[in-house]
Amino acid sequence: MPDLQLWISAVQMGCFFGLLALAYYLVLVGAGFFNFAIGPYAMVAGLLTSYLVVEWEYEVWLAAVVGIGTAVLLAIATELAVVRPVQRRSGSGELPALVAVAAVLFAVQQIAGDQLGYLTLPGQNLLPISPITVGETVVQPSTILMVLVTLVAFAAIAAWIRYTRSGRLLRAVGDSTPAATLLGLPVKRIRLVAFILSGVLAGAAGLLFSTKAGVNNLSGLGWAVSGFLALVIGGSGSIVAPLLGGLLLGIVEVFVPYYFGGQSQVYGMLLVALVFFAVKPSGLFVRRVRA
């Protein structure tokens, strides 16, 4: 039953896009812009982990911790050294922030290629169990781990935003940054927390997804676009919206090439993007209209 196998593949991709979209969502709420460098964070986590295991023979879990840690450091550096100064100087215009993020994206790609090589490395499996076979359908351990991590991450972020002080602060900053500043809330610290969490999410997503087709220093750009699209499709109205957007995009990514062949998923994604931007630019779930 090849269809079920495809659905499993779609769920795995959907969870990956959903995690990336959640990382976008946190930075969007906290800092008010789309951090395209999230794709490269994911790439660095995946590539560095594989590199450490293959070249330096690290333990897989240790390598994974180093990989995700590096992604978090990159996220912190992006906020402190690039985005914050650029936004302070340029005020409300979003073009300088966009260019700065593009420069970060390009720089991370180049540094990764320079230091870790330009070859595609195989992803590392974190769950040492054999694939589960049900009938003719095979479920890889990496897929299981991806789904588990996605569910845990969404539940944890939802709980964090709803029940903790810092989570509520993030929402306050997202509702109106000037008002939050006037009230004396720690806006800068909350922004930094949002960046750190997005680094963790992106790093974990990239690490888990690189088992599917390997990872090289240019993977990040495609991932950045996919995660962005997942957030656009889902909308920023609710915490599950990024996951649903991701799953929808995962279905497109898997089934469009299956029925139309070749590289058609790129056309499919462009079509989905154009339809959503033309018809429903705010996504499927909208909480409120921002003034």
Binding site for another protein (CB under 8 A): 33-34, 36, 81-82, 85-86, 89, 93-96, 98-100, 102-107, 110-111, 113-114, 221-222, 225, 228-229, 232, 262-264, 266-267, 269-270, 273-274, 277-278, 281
Residues 6+ apart with CB under 8 A from 274: none
DSSP state of 133: E
Q: Which is nearer to another protein, 146 or 248 (CB)?
A: 248
**For another protein, which is the closer residue by CB, 3 or 94?**
94
Whether 71 and 49 have beta carbons less than 8 Å apart is answered as no
CB of 182 to another protein, least distance (A): 26
Using the minimum distance from each CB to another protein, give the nearer residue, 117 or 186.
Answer: 117
Tokens of residue 98, six digits: 């966009």
**Distance in angstroms (rounded) separating the CA atoms of residues 29 and 236:** 9
Q: Is 207 or 252 the residue whose CB approaches another protein more closely?
A: 252
Rounded Cα–Cα distance for residues 151 and 172 (Å) = 25
Assigned token pair, 124: 């590392």
Maximum pairwise Cα distance, the chain: 61
CA 42 to chain CA centroid, Å, is 7
Instruction: Report residue 215: phi and psi, to 5°.
Output: -150, 140
Nearer to another protein, 93 or 128 (CB): 93
Q: Could you tell me the smallest distance in angstroms from the CB atom of residue 117 to another protein?
A: 12
Angle at 42 between CA 226 and CA 266, to 5 degrees: 25
Helix (H, G, I), strand (E, B) or coil at 132: strand
Q: Least CB distance from residue 165 to another protein, whole Å?
A: 30
CB of 104 to another protein, least distance (A): 7
Q: Give least dist CB 124 to another protein, A.
A: 26
Task: Please say which residue, 8 or 31, places its beta carbon nearer to another protein.
Answer: 31
Contact between 228 and 272 (Cβ < 8 Å): no
Give least dist CB 48 to another protein, A.
17
The alpha-carbon radius of gyration of the chain (Å, integer) is 19
Q: How far is the CB of 81 from another protein (least distance, A)?
A: 8
- Choice between 83 and 197, CB closer to another protein: 83
Q: Which two tokens stand for residue 170?
A: 């993030």
